[in-house]
Amino acid sequence: MADNDEAGGSGKPFWELSQEMEEEPHRYENAAEDTDPDYATPSGVGDDTTDGTTGDATTDDGSERTDGSQPKRQRKDRRPNVLGTVKEEFTEVSSTGHPTAPKKLVGGYAAQLGCILRSTVSINTENLRHRDRGNLRNLLFTKLHERYKFPGDFANTRLSGNKVNSAALTKMSTALATWRAAVKRMILRGDSYEKIKGKNPSISEADYLEFKIKCESNASAESSQWGKDMRDLNLGVHKLGPGGYRVAEPKWDKEDAERAAQGLPPLFDKYHEKQTRNYVRARYKVDPVTKELTTDPKVKDLERVLVRNTPPRN
C-alpha cells in the first residue's frame, strides 16, 4: 500500500541506516546466543539452567552429596516463543510510539513482535522498509493489530503518521537481523537442517537451503564487511540538545530562508535527501569566535563518503 512505502532505491538511504544504528547499535552485529530473543525460558521452570526443583544436590547415583559441593547445573534448551492468540489492549503509548501500559504486557511486547515477524516473512527477506515491501508491511501491521489493541490515534495499519507502527517496524527489523544472525551461526558451525528447524519452526527447507548458500558465499562475507564499515562511520547521538531535530529544523529552515533572500543556496545543499542533510548538519556547531560552522574530523570523513556516493542532480 502507498501509505507503507517509505524508503526507496535498491538499498537503504544513509539517514535510515544511521538512525537504526543509533537506536539499535547491535543490529549490525552478531547478537550473542544467550541474549537471543527468539527463545524463552519454558513456562513453569525457574531459570533455564535448572529443572525447577529446590531439593538438595545429589550424586549421579541419587544419593545426597556430603562434600558441600554443588553439581554443575545443566542448561535446558529454550523453546521458541509462541504468538499469543488472545487480543490484549495497550492503554498508553509513549511519544516515540512504544507501548507503556499496562506494564504486564510491555515486557513481552518485543518477543511478540518477533513472533509476528518470523511467522510472516522468510528468513531471506531483507530491508522491511524498502518501497517494494509495502504489502508485506501491511500484513505485519495487520497481524500486530489483531494481536493488540492500541489507543484510537494508533488503531490503523498505516506506516506514515503512526508512531506505534513505525516503532514496531524498527523492532521487527531488529528481530529479523537477530534471527538471521542466530541461524547463520548454526549453519556455520555445521548444525543440520533438522536441528535448525527444531529451534526455528517457521523455516522451510527451501528457505533454509537458499539462506545457507548466502551464508557460505563470498557475497555474505562482503555484506558483513559492509556492515562493519558502516559501524565505523557511525557518529553516535547528535548534540542538538533535548529538543533534538524537532527544535532544530525550524531554526535551520529560517537560516536557509535568509540565505535564499541573499541569493545563496541552502547550507549542506549538496545532500539531496533532507534526512541525510539534517543528519550531517546536526553534527556541526558555530564557532563562538569566527561564527563559522565547524565539526570534527570524523564527520569530515563521513562527508567524503556521502559526497562520493551521492549522484549528481539531473
Torsions phi, psi for 3 (to 5 deg) = -65, -20
| Mean pLDDT, range 192-196, rounded to an integer | 95
- pLDDT by residue (tens digit) across 29-42? 443 333 344 444 33
Residue 298 gets which letter from DSSP? H
Residue 9 identity:
G
Cis link prior to 297 (omega < 30° from 0)?
no
All cell numbers assigned to 305? 563518503
Average pLDDT over all residues of the chain: 76
- pTM above 0.75? no
Residue 218 has pLDDT above 90, yes or no: no
pLDDT of residue 70: 60
- pLDDT by residue (tens digit) across 224-253? 666 666 666 666 666 677 778 788 888 888
